[in-house]
A = this chain, B = another copy of it.
Amino acid sequence: MRIVIIGGVAAGAKAAAKAKRVNPDLEIIVFQDEAEVAYSACGLPYVIGGTITDQNKLVIRTPEEFAKDGIRVETGRRVVALDAANRRMRVRNLQDQSEESIAYDRLIVATGALPIVPRVEGIDLDGVLTLRKIGDLARFKAIFDTLRPQKAVIVGAGYIGMELAEAFHELNIKTTLIEKFPRILPKFDPEMAQLVHDQLVEQDIELILGDGLSKLQGENGRVIAVVTESGKVIPADLVVIAIGVRPNTELAMAAGIALGKTGAIAVDSRMQTNIPGVFAAGDCAETIDRVSGQPTWVPLGDIANLQGRVAGENAAGGNAHFPGVFGTAIFKAFELNVAMTGLSEQAARAQGFEPVSVLLRRGDRARYYPGGREVTIKLIADRRDGRLLGAQVIGPGKADKMIDIAATALLGKLTCHDLENADLAYSPPFSPVLSPMIMAAGALSSRVSGVAD
């Protein structure tokens, strides 16, 4: 039996490895249109900023390593047509443009997401780029080495935009972030997003909010300025388009694979599409938000890995289920660690919950123990039953630890009453005597029950 996997970055690579482990007798072929497979795109901003000095470190596994495990990885091959009825596909060799027809028994679509690039005037100028694939690093490096950019504009203040802002700051490139939405981090509640806003301003990142990209001005084929919708002209010799990504679904759609509400490929909990034997995983696939129960689309590397594991197991004959996501995310913005899980208060209200929240700032170690740093926590529960709905944690302190506690609490469908009596690990080098998350849950619990903490 042959499993073909289209795409080999995160979900595809993971699915291949998992399928082979479940059934070593399977023939597994991965078609990948880039030169590399199994790499961490999340590491790109850190290569650009210089934290990671060798971009090859981002490659987790080479085609040769896959081959040792009996997995055939074909790079530089694009699947250009899919015939699901006859279980065949046409695969183009991107080097010589030759095509061949390949049959499969089971298929995993892991085509990922594509950067959204607005077709505005000047978008093809030199110095304008997206940074999503490992191959984009060479383009950036060429610009950086030859043009020595002094002034960058990043269009889009999402996670990637902010990580790039920090990377450019490391490279001493004066950076402006343009965001069409009136504030940064719309998934966070405004008072939390403001903490990051202030940090960016403090770090000398210029923020232009509520204003979109109108066009790009060039000279001799090179970008020299960004013009916003409101007419602002911002000089720039480097422009990164980071307004977001969309699921890469053209191939699937053409083959009759159904999309969901979000525009990503609809799958059941086994990651199977509407076509039996055809699975989808990673940034091209839809999933379920486990707090609201609604379809959602979360194009993140860890989710891709989790989904790839399930799709791989099932394609190989197993019966694994992917239960959905909580929208957990974290990123570093200069001195701040910025994390969230579940719903914001705004999103919870919009979805029909009756959210109540607390906001508190605490150290992440015993006060008397050196090296502690602060975290600001916003914890949200439903007023009616105390069920936790979401958390946001921002600060120089251990936001990752706090948000993982909250994410696990959501997974356990805990209430704030449950969490306020959590038995978390305490010792002065690691935590205050009661974890900031317990303190937040206690304060929230009082608001739900009406007793002051």
- Which A positions have Cβ atoms within 8 angstroms of B? 10, 18, 21-22, 40, 42-43, 46, 51-52, 57-58, 60, 159, 290, 300-303, 305-306, 309-310, 313, 318, 322-323, 325-332, 337, 339, 341, 366-370, 398-401, 403-405, 407-414, 418-419, 421-431, 433-435, 438, 442, 451-453
Contact = CB atoms under 8 A, between A and B. Distances in A.
Contacts of A306: 421, 423, 434, 438
A452 B52 contact: no
A375 to B, nearest CB: 13
Given A309-B442, A405-B404, A423-B328, A428 B366 contact: no
A83 to B, nearest CB: 32
Contacts of A426: 42, 300-302, 328, 330
Nearest to A309: B442
Nearest to A18: B453
Contacts of A330: 425-427, 430-431
A451 B22 contact: yes
Contacts of A451: 22, 313, 318
14 contacts: A40-B366, A40-B368, A52-B369, A300-B426, A329-B425, A329-B427, A330-B431, A332-B429, A404-B404, A408-B412, A408-B414, A409-B411, A412-B412, A412-B414
Q: Count identical subunits in the complex.
A: 2
Nearest to A412: B412
A328 B40 CA distance: 34
Contacts of A328: 423-426
A40 B433 contact: yes
A52 B368 contact: yes
Contacts of A452: 21-22
Contact of A421 (B40, B322, B327, B421): B322
Contacts of A438: 306
Contacts of A60: 367
Given A302-B433, A411-B409, A431-B400, A326 B423 contact: yes
Contacts of A421: 306, 310, 322-323
Given A22-B452, A331-B427, 19 more contacts: A42-B433, A46-B369, A52-B369, A302-B431, A302-B433, A306-B421, A306-B438, A309-B442, A313-B451, A337-B430, A400-B401, A400-B431, A408-B408, A408-B412, A409-B411, A411-B414, A411-B419, A411-B422, A412-B412
A272 to B, nearest CB: 16
Nearest to A442: B309
Select the residue from A339, A428, A453 with max chain B CB neighbours within 10 A: A428
B412 A413 contact: yes
Contact of A57 (B10, B332, B367, B442): B367
Contact of A425 (B341, B413, B424, B427): B341
Contacts of A401: 398, 400-401, 404
Contact of A42 (B22, B332, B427, B435): B427
A54 B326 CA distance: 44
Contacts of A310: 421
Contacts of A410: 423
A411 B412 contact: yes
A441 to B, nearest CB: 11
A151 to B, nearest CB: 26
Contacts of A434: 302, 305-306
A204 B425 CA distance: 27
Contacts of A414: 408, 411-412
B368 A43 contact: yes
A327 B430 CA distance: 16
Contacts of A300: 426
Given A421-B322, A428-B46, A405 B403 contact: no
Contacts of A10: 433
